[in-house]
Each structure stands twice: as structure tokens, then as C-alpha cells.
């Protein structure tokens, strides 16, 4: 039986806030992490998304900070995206509502003036994206000398997004004596490197196998020949609005996300769908996520970077319209459904060019995902010549990546064409046989 929060050494103000939020029993990551964080240990936590890891570090930090003190921050929490930073801040405000602790969130995408004013007014906890934190610090508006806690959340995504340099710069400007907490859904080489630089004799907490999707998520694959057939399949699935009640569709690029959004808007109406990606303004992204959370829209179309921080209960389905090239993102994507032990479904569409990444994902999660046949109602389109060429080129590139000696069909054709062209050039410069001296002598 999981522990109740009453069994932890938390004060009454925090326990009342936890009860108000409707939480009674701790999740496995909370059960394993709260006590060692309270005792001052450095933590290396490996946990899937949707397992409650935010509360696993926020609750013990709030317990140790207790009340507002001075003007400078005593805890710094770093997150890879503004959406996740905002989500963490929301959790902190829920759990600290009976305390006077002050939290400020800082992120890019809008001017820093208001954020700087909030920091200057006095702060206990700063939640930040690495780039914006460094900007405000280097401008002289953040005092780091009183920091007692430093948290890296979703460290794997920070490494994927190229934040390792910023993290090292931040480590240089924070006090050496502090408690460090690092959380990651997957264990890449870069995550292990930053953990080695960042943590001192950490307590390692692992909930489930590394990079294993939540057991509450049912995963299936649909093999499709081309983009148009993917769209036909998506349209067919969305017609079933009883089963597909609330879903997130993941796309690889902003362009594809916009195209899918336009398609759904045209077919199902403007009130059914929103799209979020890096080119969308901050307010637009926040409003779209809030509309989705409140159940005002049925479909949210998103790219991977924009998806971090979408913590929405009762997401019935995740559809991977494109297979992620950064294979660890698959775990994060499907973790948007089946949250807090609810059931969820993850459907992935893949073309012949994406099969390579499906195989890599199956190795990563150490399980085979079943391929289900396309519904008979889905019209299978013929692959246009240009798309067929692009698929073949992608397959060649993948084979070359695994085997540098591989030349590829395109290389061979090009090579053959070059040889033929050389032969033609050589023959063009030759003297015709009937003009040669030998020919004349024979005559």
C-alpha cells in the first residue's frame, strides 16, 4: 500500500495544501524521493513523465524553506521549456498556498522587465529556463549567494536542446555548498556526464526501467506508404469522437503541425483544435494549453519542444503523426496520456522512411510495439514520384549512417550516369574510324 502524505515529515501548512489539491497517497517516485531530499541528499531521479516527480522535489524543498526570508532566492529550479517552467510554478503555488514563500518564473519569449521587477521585490524560489536565467543574472539582477537548492528537471531534454554549456555556466555562479537534485526520464550519455559534474555521491532513485513508457499506455503502430495516407488515417480516427475524446497530435516540424491544424480546422471546425510550436506567441501557447486543459477543445497539435509542460489529465490518445528523430522524445510524447495511473492509448503512424526510427525506439524501450492493419475504410493513396524519391533517399542515408561503406542506390545511379557521361565525352573527342589513316590505307 502506498504511503499517505501524512506519513512524511511535512508540516501542517503543506499537508493541508496537498489535501486541498486532492492528493492522499504518494506515487512511487514521491515515496522514494521525499525522505532523502528532506535529509539533505543529492538525488539522481529516473522517472517517466506523469509519475509525480515535480511534487517529489517541491514538497521537501518547501518544507525546508518554511517561510519567506530576505530578498534573494534560496532555491533555483531549471527546466528546458517555458511551458514546463510554468507548470512547475503552478505546482509550487498550489503546495505553498498556506505559506508566505515567494516564487518567480523567468523564461524567454517576452521582455524581462516584469520578471526583473518581481525578483527585485523579493523571491524565495526561482523557476527558470537556463538562457533567460543567465541573461538576467549577467545583467546583475539575480543574487545567487544564498542558494541552497539547485534542481535540473527533465535533464535529458535540456541536453537534447543544447543547454549543457548554459548549465555549466550556471554551476560556476552558484554556491558550492548546496543540495542538488536532477530528474530525467531517460539516461543518455550527456545526462550521465552532467550528473557527474553536478551531483556529489547522489542517491539514485529509479522508478521502473529507464526509458520505459508508463504501463498504463497501450501502444500500437500503423504502417502507411505516404503522407496522404497518414492524413486519411487521421481523418478516419477523428470521426470517432466518442473514443477519441481528448487527444494530442505530435508532429516533427512547425510546418507539418500548421498543415495538420489547418486540415482538422477545415474538417471538424475551428472550435475543435489548437496548435502550439516555437513560432507561436507566448500568450497564444498559454491560452491554447489552458483551453485544452479545461476541455474547451478536443485536439491539440504540437511539436516536441512546445509539448513539455502539457500536464493534462484524461488525455485519451496521443497520436504520433510523425515518428520522432530524437528517439527519447517518444517516451515523453506518449507520457502525455496515461497520466496519474489513468489508461491511455498511443498511436504512431510510420512510413518506410520512418521504420528505421521505430526499430531504434523499440530497442530503447525494450519492447516490441504491435503493428495493426489499416482500417478498411482508409483509402491508401499512391505515393507520388517526388515523395517516393525522398523516401528512398532517406533510407539510403540511414543505411549509410549505420554503414559508412554503403554507397546507396542514388549514389550508384549517379556514379553510373557519370561513367556514361565520361564515355560519351571520350568518344566525342575520338577521330571517327572513316577519317583515320588506317581506314584510308585499307582502301
Q: Which of 210-224, 340-354, 357-371 has the lowest mean pLDDT?
A: 210-224
Burial 24-45 (b: 16+ CB within 10 A, else e): eebbbbbbbbbbbbbeebbbbb
Provide the H-helix boundaries in 139-213.
155-160, 164-173, 189-198
DSSP E strands in 364-421: the ranges are none
Q: For residues 174 and 43, state if they share a domain.
A: yes
Residues 23 and 149 in one domain: yes
pLDDT at 415: 52
Is this model's pTM higher than 0.85 or not? no
Give the residue with greater pLDDT, 46 vs 279. 46
DSSP state of 220: E
Alpha helices in 100-154 (DSSP H): 113-120, 130-138
Instruction: Report CA-CA distances (Å) from 113 to 78, 110, 177, 288.
Output: 20, 9, 30, 25
Residue 418 domain-assigned (yes or no): no
Mean pLDDT over each residue of the chain, to the nearest integer: 86
Query: What domain count does the chain have?
Result: 2
pLDDT digits (tens, 9 = 90+) for 103-116: 999 999 888 999 99
pLDDT of residue 439: 47
User: Do 91 and 186 lie in a common domain?
Assistant: yes
Q: Does position 188 have pLDDT exceeding 80, yes or no?
A: no
Which residue among 206, 239, 259 closes a domain?
206
CATH number at 336 reads: 3.40.50.300
Verify that 335 and 223 share a domain, yes or no: yes
Tell me: the pLDDT tens digits for 320-336?
999 988 777 888 788 88
Q: Span 210-238, mean pLDDT?
A: 88
pLDDT of residue 27: 84
Q: Determine contact, residues 10/63, Cβ cutoff 8 Å.
A: yes
Please report the pLDDT score of residue 46 as a whole number: 87
Residue 282 pLDDT exceeds 80: no
Report how far residue 181's alpha carbon sits from residue 150's, in angstroms, rounded to the nearest whole number: 6
Last residue in a domain, options 206, 238, 262: 206
d(CA 196, CA 164): 13
Examine the domain organization and report whether 202 and 267 are in the same domain: no
In a domain, 104, yes or no: yes
Closest CA to 56 of 40, 65, 45, 66: 45
Distance CA 366, CA 370 (A): 13
Out of 127-131, 135-139, 398-402, which region has the weakest mean confidence (pLDDT)? 398-402
**Is 35 strand, coil or helix?**
helix
Higher pLDDT residue, 136 or 433?
136
**Residue 106 belongs to domain spanning:** 5-206
Q: CB atoms < 10 A from the CB of 117, how many? A: 11
Three-state secondary structure call for residue 3:
coil
In this predicted structure, the answer to whether residue 158 has a pLDDT above a threshold of 50 is yes
pLDDT digits (tens, 9 = 90+) for 19-58: 988 888 888 889 999 999 999 999 999 886 667 889 999 9
pLDDT of residue 428: 64
The CA distance from 437 to 261, in Å, is 74
Q: How large is the average pLDDT for residues 334-343?
A: 75
Determine the 3-state secondary structure of 209 from DSSP.
Answer: coil
Amino acid at each position: 500500500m502506498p504511503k499517505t502524505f501524512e506519513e512524511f515529515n511535512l508540516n501542517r501548512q503543506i499537508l493541508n495544501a496537498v489535501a486541498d489539491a486532492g492528493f492522499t497517497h504518494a506515487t512511487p517516485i514521491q515515496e522514494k524521493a521525499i525522505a532523502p531530499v528532506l535529509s539533505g541528499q543529492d538525488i539522481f531521479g529516473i522517472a517517466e513523465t506523469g509519475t509525480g516527480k515535480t511534487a517529489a522535489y517541491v514538497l521537501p524543498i518547501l518544507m525546508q524553506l518554511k517561510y519567506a526570508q530576505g530578498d534573494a532566492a534560496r532555491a533555483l529550479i531549471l527546466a528546458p521549456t517555458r511551458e514546463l517552467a510554468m507548470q512547475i510554478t503552478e505546482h509550487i503555488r498550489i503546495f505553498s498556498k498556506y505559506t508566505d514563500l515567494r516564487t518567480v518564473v523567468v523564461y524567454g519569449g517576452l521582455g524581462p522587465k516584469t520578471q526583473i521587477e518581481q525578483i527585485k521585490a523579493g523571491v524565495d524560489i526561482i523557476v527558470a529556463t537556463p538562457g533567460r536565467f543567465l541573461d538576467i543574472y549577467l545583467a546583475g539582477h539575480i543574487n545567487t549567494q544564498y542558494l541552497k537548492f539547485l534542481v535540473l528537471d527533465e535533464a535529458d531534454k535540456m541536453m537534447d536542446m543544447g543547454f549543457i554549456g548554459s548549465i555549466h555556466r550556471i554551476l560556476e555562479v552558484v554556491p558550492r555548498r548546496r543540495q542538488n537534485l536532477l530528474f530525467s526520464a531517460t539516461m543518455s550519455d550527456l545526462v550521465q556526464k552532467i550528473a557527474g559534474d553536478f551531483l556529489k555521491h547522489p542517491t539514485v532513485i529509479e522508478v521502473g526501467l529507464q526509458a520505459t513508457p508508463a504501463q498504463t499506455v497501450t501502444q500500437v503502430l500503423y504502417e502507411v506508404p505516404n503522407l496522404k495516407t497518414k492524413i486519411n488515417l487521421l481523418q478516419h480516427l477523428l470521426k470517432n469522437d466518442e473514443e477519441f475524446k481528448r487527444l494530442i497530435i505530435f508532429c516533427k516540424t512547425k510546418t507539418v503541425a500548421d498543415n495538420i491544424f489547418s486540415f482538422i480546422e477545415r474538417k471538424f471546425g475551428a472550435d475543435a483544435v489548437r496548435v502550439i510550436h516555437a513560432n507561436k506567441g507566448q500568450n497564444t501557447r498559454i491560452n491554447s494549453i489552458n483551453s485544452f486543459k479545461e476541455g474547451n477543445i478536443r485536439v491539440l497539435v504540437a511539436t516536441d519542444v512546445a509539448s513539455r509542460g502539457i500536464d493534462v489529465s484524461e488525455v485519451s490518445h496521443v497520436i504520433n503523426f510523425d515518428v520522432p528523430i530524437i528517439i527519447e522524445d517518444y517516451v515523453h510524447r506518449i507520457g502525455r496520456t496515461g497520466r496519474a495511473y489513468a489508461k491511455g492509448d498511443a498511436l504512431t503512424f510510420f512510413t518506410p522512411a520512418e521504420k528505421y526510427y521505430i526499430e531504434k525506439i523499440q530497442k530503447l524501450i525494450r519492447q516490441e510495439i504491435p503493428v495493426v492493419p489499416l482500417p478498411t475504410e482508409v483509402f491508401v493513396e499512391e505515393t507520388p514520384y517526388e515523395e517516393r524519391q525522398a523516401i528512398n533517399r532517406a533510407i539510403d542515408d540511414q543505411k549509410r549512417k549505420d554503414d559508412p561503406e554503403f554507397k546507396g542506390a542514388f549514389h550508384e545511379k549517379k556514379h553510373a550516369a557519370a561513367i556514361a557521361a565520361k564515355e560519351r565525352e571520350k568518344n566525342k573527342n575520338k577521330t571517327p574510324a572513316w577519317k583515320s589513316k588506317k581506314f584510308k590505307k585499307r582502301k
